[in-house]
Amino acid sequence: MGEHELSPVRGPESSPRSSVSRRRFLGRSALLAGAVAFGDGILDVARRTAAADGPGTPQPPPLEEKRTVRISNWPLYIDAKTVQEFEVATGFKAVYTEDVNDNNEFFAKIDEPLKRGQSIDRDLIVLTDWMAGRLIKLGYTQPIDAAKFPNKANLVEALRGVGFDPGRVHSVPWVSGMTGLGYNPKRLGRELTSVNDIFAPELKGKVTMLTEMRDTIGLVLLGEGADPAKCTLAEAKAAAAKIKKYREAGHFRGFTGNDYAADLAAGNIAVAFAWSGDVQGLTKDNPDLRWVAPKEGAMLYSDNMLIPKTSDRGDLAAAFMNYVYEPAHAAQIIAAAPYLSPVKGVDAELAKLDAGLAKSPLVNPPAEVRARLHVFRWLEDAEDKELNKAFQDAIGA
């Protein structure tokens, strides 16, 4: 946790292959392999250092230390320039670390220190809705200073009133993503429309689901005709039981983080539960790949920026939020990490950067797709524990 100085600031363009990466331990290892295979350097600390003293920046007096905001985010969730440009624009220093690979794993790291009120050496962290909700409920976060964050007005209406943080006092979304089916229609020889296609007998051994419980259980529930936003615990556990039955019969190739992406591109997997942004990234090298929101519906999640309660630099974190909520800056991020932006006015800015991407249904889903997006319902701690246990058992973890 303390080694953030060694961590990379890097954008997806540094390796075309790795622009698909997002989640989990295995994801990081695939990334490592990708980087080694392509021979490009992962670490690019020098670039950041150079930018901090870049031309045009007034040099501060040598004895006065620059104030630094320390950020933890998921891998490949940002472009290469935003952090430097933030430093130039604000005069603050930013250390941006891509060390969030899994909500549960990250929580395991920060839980103890935050419980004891100790610093986690981070001023801004990005976690998925349900985990953001848990942190807020545990009192691990501090409110965002609205005076330092005028661009909060740019937050889209749909994401303003979330159950876990009414009024968005403690959190604002970084980006949102959709979970649906990823596949290659050419290789498969047909189009997929239903979640339940993943259970087709001829696909035995050629499919994967995600280790992210709410995404996988949510999609299976949709296939069963249930609504993940309102499901009972019994329904969710029945979905887990269905997964377990198929897993035991050898139907699944595996349960993955973002590492399904490489296997999907290589043809080892025919159909995967997949994140929209990942597949959008993959299509650069594999134009045949496709992501679809199944007719029964797809899952929608957001990853949210939070300020840990033990941070003494909440003002800097708010300044960073304010910076990335400027539509032009948000568009620059989306151009590299093609997810759904929570910032109003980003479409026009994105069209200037990448007209094709701005029209992509993955970045800008049509209304009929938006109508089919579901958010997994809030689970109380006891429910979460019980369902997680059933789910881990189902996926054979």
285 scored as a contact of other proteins (CB under 8 A)? no
Q: CB under 8 A: which stretch of 22-30, 58-66, 119-127, 195-203 binds other proteins?
A: 22-30
- Name the 3-class secondary structure at 331: helix
Least distance CB 145 / other proteins (angstroms)? 32
Residue with the two structure tokens 């250092």 = 49
Partner residues linked to 277 by β-bridges:
none
Residues with Cβ within 8 Å of 136's Cβ and at least 6 positions away in sequence, in order, are 164, 165, 170, 171, 306
- Name the 3-class secondary structure at 343: strand
Partner residues linked to 156 by β-bridges:
none
Least distance CB 64 / other proteins (angstroms)? 41
For other proteins, give the closer residue by CB, 100 or 317: 100
205 scored as a contact of other proteins (CB under 8 A)? yes
Q: Which of 7, 16, 33, 152 binds other proteins (CB under 8 A)?
A: 33
Q: CB under 8 A: which stretch of 178-186, 271-279, 294-302, 385-393 binds other proteins?
A: 385-393
Least distance CB 352 / other proteins (angstroms)? 39
Angle of helix 213-223 versus helix 233-248 axis, rounded to 10: 90
61: which DSSP letter? P
Residue with the two structure tokens 């929580």 = 107
Q: Would you say 298 and 291 are in contact if contact means Cβ atoms under 8 Å apart?
A: no
CA separation for the pair 72, 316 (Å, rounded)? 14
How many residues in the shown chain lie near other proteins by CB under 8 A? 30
DSSP per residue over 289-351, as a string? -EEE--TT-EEEEEEEEE-BTT-S-HHHHHHHHHHHTSHHHHHHHHHHS-SB--BTTHHHHHH
For other proteins, give the closer residue by CB, 1 or 32: 32
For other proteins, give the closer residue by CB, 26 or 238: 26
Q: Would you say 127 and 100 are in contact if contact means Cβ atoms under 8 Å apart?
A: yes
Contact set for other proteins, span 207-226 (CB under 8 A)? 211
Which x/- pattern, by CB under 8 A, does the window 229-268 give for other proteins? ------------------xx-x-xxxx------xx--xxx
Closest CA relative to residue 195, chosen from 229, 151, 239: 239
For other proteins, give the closer residue by CB, 104 or 193: 104
For other proteins, give the closer residue by CB, 67 or 137: 137
CA separation for the pair 190, 311 (Å, rounded)? 52
Which x/- pattern, by CB under 8 A, does the window 74-113 give for other proteins? ----------------------------x-xx--x-----
Which positions touch other proteins (CB under 8 A)?
26, 29-30, 32-33, 36, 102, 104-105, 108, 205, 211, 247-248, 250, 252-255, 262-263, 266-268, 388-389, 392, 395-397
